[in-house]
Amino acid sequence: MALLTHIRLAHSFSDYRRRLQCVQARLQALSVLVYSNALQENAHSLLHAGLLEELVELLELPHTHLVEIRAAALRTLTSIIHLDRNPHFPKKPGSRLNMIIDVTGASSYHGFLPVLVRTCITTLTSPQPDGQPFPLPLATALFSFLYHLASYEAGGEALVSCGMMESLLKVINWPGSELEHITFVTRAVRVIDLITNIDMQGFQTHSGLASFINRLDMEVNVCRKEQPFEIEPLLYQDAPQTSRERSTEREEASSISHREHETFDEREESSNPMEISEDENTVAKADEKTEQQPDYSAAKTGKTCLPQRAALLKSMLNFLKKAIQDPAFSDSIRHVMEGTLPSSLKHIISNSEYYGPSLFLLATDVVTVYVFQEPSLLSSLQDNGLTDVVLHALLIKEVSVNNLFCKILIIIFNN
């Protein structure tokens, strides 16, 4: 294989296009070898000194025809990030992660990586009519690199130091609804989720919680156009009153009938004292059966939420669930249910067939966690109908019964 590689390189070296293909193939092969733990024997020859600097130099090339090579270089850097955690890979003096942070300038506001990210986000969110769009493969590789970098404490601290939070929140506030847009927003949410484990201050400074809730509302409103159904239990609260009115009318009619037939033998009436009561119960049951039952057939349209949008909703709900339990948000969380969040949660909970059982249970869990954190505000959730929707949905929805569902059900009814 090594001989074939050398022959192919020698044959293609004189052709610029083929030489570029050889470079890209080598970068992709290196990524695969790292991810598959196949570098034990050839680690030092393949990951030679200065490789990280060479990869960054590739990234710095401005030529538009080198986009695929730049993306491959970024994916190779992403794979090397995890080598320090690989127990089968020989340790190297000095963390490779720290070396990657240094060569990319990730911890500096004016470093190469932060500048590249800000350029990417600005181009994506505010495209100019005469400007060149940011290459999609490079943008995808860049957001993937940020996610893997933020999954380590040192990487997360570097992203906090360079002020990455403000740029990522611009992606959350980006109103685009195309598939590519949704994918980038999902990646931004996951990076923010990792960064906020280290520092919440930047997130709060830039009103991150409001951005998340507004984005959630925007995505749910898109889903409403396709699936407008929503449980409205308040419409059926008049039914008990109607029954009471009918019961009163029956009692009055019974009283009139009793006065008209008061000449009957009192002994005959006393011999069967439960007859009138039984007749009334029979009539009441018949009336209840004829009353209109809630119609939930509109929820079963056979449509399902777009997988990319469902992934975004899941990421945002997971973050909100974490934020509600974070003491750093204790002041702002009290008012989180005063805006559009209850409406978004009600639509998700009302449409488990559309959103899927995972999102249904997660939205229900967000309500449960909020009640645990702010039990004094339970009455406000009851007033806006959120708790009624939760209870109705838990009773009528056909979701897969698992341990999580049973746990949530017990918690809600305990509250």
More confident position, 87 or 58: 58
Whether residue 267 is predicted with pLDDT greater than 50 in this model: the reply is no
Q: pLDDT (tens digit, 9 = 90+) per residue, 317-369?
A: 999 999 999 888 888 888 889 889 999 999 999 998 899 989 999 999 999 99
Whether residue 290 is predicted with pLDDT greater than 50 in this model: the reply is no
Cα–Cα distance, 234 to 216 (Å, whole number): 24
Q: pLDDT (tens digit, 9 = 90+) per residue, 98-121?
A: 999 999 999 999 999 999 999 999
211-225 residues labelled b (16+ CB within 10 A) or e (exposed): bbbbbbbebbeebee
Whether residue 145 is predicted with pLDDT greater than 90 in this model: the reply is yes
- Supply φ then ψ for residue 162, to 5 degrees: -90, 5
Whether residue 269 is predicted with pLDDT greater than 70 in this model: the reply is no
Out of 5-19, 54-68, 140-154, the most confident range is 140-154
Dihedral over Cα of 64, 68, 71, 73: its sign: negative
Whether residue 271 is predicted with pLDDT greater than 60 in this model: the reply is no
Question: pLDDT at position 241, please?
Answer: 45
- CB-based contact 19:13 (threshold 8 Å): yes
Q: pLDDT (tens digit, 9 = 90+) per residue, 21-48?
A: 888 888 888 888 888 776 666 666 677 7
Whole-prediction pTM value? 0.80
Whether residue 224 is predicted with pLDDT greater than 90 in this model: the reply is yes
Out of 41-45, 137-141, 239-243, the most confident range is 137-141
Average pLDDT, the chain: 80
Task: Give, in order, the Cα–Cα distances in Å from 31 to each of 8, 84, 96, 101.
Answer: 20, 15, 15, 18
- Would you call 152 exposed, middle or buried from its count of C-beta atoms within 10 A (0-12, 13-18, 19+)? buried
